[in-house]
Amino acid sequence: MFMIRMDELNIYNKRVLIRVDFNVPMKQGKILSDTRILASLPTIKLALQKNAQVIIMSHLGRPCEGVYDDKFSLLPIVEYLKNKLIKYKIKLVKDYLGGIILNQGEIIVLENVRFNHGESKNDEVLARKYAALCDIFVMDAFGIAHRSHASTCGIARFADVSCIGGLFSNELNILSEVMKTPKRPLVVIVGGSKISTKFDLLNTLSKIADYVIVGGGIANTFLAIENKVGRSLYEPNFIGLAKQLLSKYNIQVPIDLRISTEYSENSVDIIKNRTDILGNEFILDFGDKTIQSLVLILKKANTILWNGPLGVYEFPNFRRGTEIIAHTIANSHAFSVAGGGDTLAAIDLFGIKDSISYISTGGGAFLQFIESQSLPIISIMKRHVK
């Protein structure tokens, strides 16, 4: 999977445009989590240390394409960067498609690329305008690498030189290692609401994992093979496929569950065996016996791959399963890799970020790469290798 890395190039006094993923959660103009920004800083700092002229581009949220909207401006992120890169003048530029002026000691941040017509459709004219802004394009936005947009695949095609940054390289190396040569036992955790969106992922991971733990609506679909699940979220059309997976692989289906007759933040939890769920009840979390059995499995692991919460962890009475499993992973001697938006939110909630071996910045890209060992940008980047 050889691709040119930025640290292999002479970038002295070159215009280096780094595509980062600053699509961070925001509320009223305040950054709620800076994980993705912090992950991008080493590549930016390396470019500055090598005396490159640095331009940064990113998207934020889902504005109406082609329409400027203050709510999705990168200005709060520029203000954040000023506190992290205090030696440099950092300037947000709104109108840049016709060219930019970049002064010595200055970093330019291009305004949200999704304000540009043609960004999500990978418009060739737009991609060529992006490419004209730089001497070298650096793809370091792993979180958006599953999308063929003008600021990712498009610019990579037309820039004179295209390469990958340190964050992107690390993501590929670590995920490839987990998939190909994990230290065993390998325990995989796949949670979330719909098995339909993660069936290919489950199928791929089940083939290589020693244990697969399923949670949320995905677990409910497995439960529904032989049990009633009441009003719980599950997918009847996938029961047959779930049954096939269960018959072939070591998938851990919960034996007891926390349930309620209401789907509410204030619902009271009741623990029941999986065979005792009534028609008016919701399954919202694992029961204590299930949690205890999973903790024992995780304590034996040497590699853990975690994607998705195990229950409705947003409700205080139904976060026990996700919380205990999260802390067990954090305290484990295993090499742990976590990815996906809900997973990162749970990691932040439980304060274990520093105890996870590697946190992927990708959601969809994380899943796609694990499923297929490829991403749209990879084949384009390979073409730039002489």
Q: Is 59 annotated as a binding residue?
A: yes
Q: Is 21 annotated as a binding residue?
A: yes
**Tokens for 368?**
């796609």
For the domain spanning 184-333, the CATH number is 3.40.50.1260
Q: Is 79 annotated as a binding residue?
A: no
Q: Is 258 annotated as a binding residue?
A: no
* H/E stretch holding 285: strand 282-286
Q: Is 61 annotated as a binding residue?
A: yes
pLDDT for 1: 56
Q: Is 114 annotated as a binding residue?
A: yes
Q: What is the pLDDT of residues 296-330, one digit of tens each?
A: 999 999 999 999 999 999 999 999 999 999 999 99
Candidate from 25-39, 91-105, 158-172, 345-359 with smallest mean pLDDT: 25-39
Considering the domain delimited by 6-167+374-384, tell me its CATH architecture: 3-Layer(aba) Sandwich (3.40)
Q: Is 285 annotated as a binding residue?
A: no
Q: What is the pLDDT of residues 174-198, one digit of tens each?
A: 999 999 999 999 999 999 888 788 8
Burial-class residue 9 by CB neighbours within 10 Å (0-12, 13-18, 19+): middle
- Does 6-167+374-384 match 184-333 in CATH topology? yes
Q: Is 171 annotated as a binding residue?
A: no
Measured CA to CA, the distance from residue 185 to residue 188 in angstroms comes to 10
Q: Is 287 annotated as a binding residue?
A: no
Q: Please list, in sequence order, all residues whose beta carbon lies within 8 angstroms of the beta carbon of residue 360, skipping any fewer than 6 positions away.
A: 142, 171, 174, 175, 337, 338, 339, 340, 366
Domain spans of the chain?
Answer: 6-167+374-384, 184-333
Q: Is 384 annotated as a binding residue?
A: no
What's the pTM value of the predicted model, to 2 decimals? 0.89
pLDDT for 194: 81
Q: Is 256 annotated as a binding residue?
A: no
Q: How confident is the model at residue 340 (pLDDT cuts 50, 70, 90)?
A: confident
Measured CA to CA, the distance from residue 200 to residue 252 in angstroms comes to 18
Q: How confident is the model at residue 381 (pLDDT cuts 50, 70, 90)?
A: confident
Q: What is the pLDDT of residues 23-80, one digit of tens each?
A: 998 888 899 888 899 999 999 999 999 999 999 999 999 999 999 999 999 999 999 9
Tell me, what amino acid is at 115? F
Q: Is 288 annotated as a binding residue?
A: no
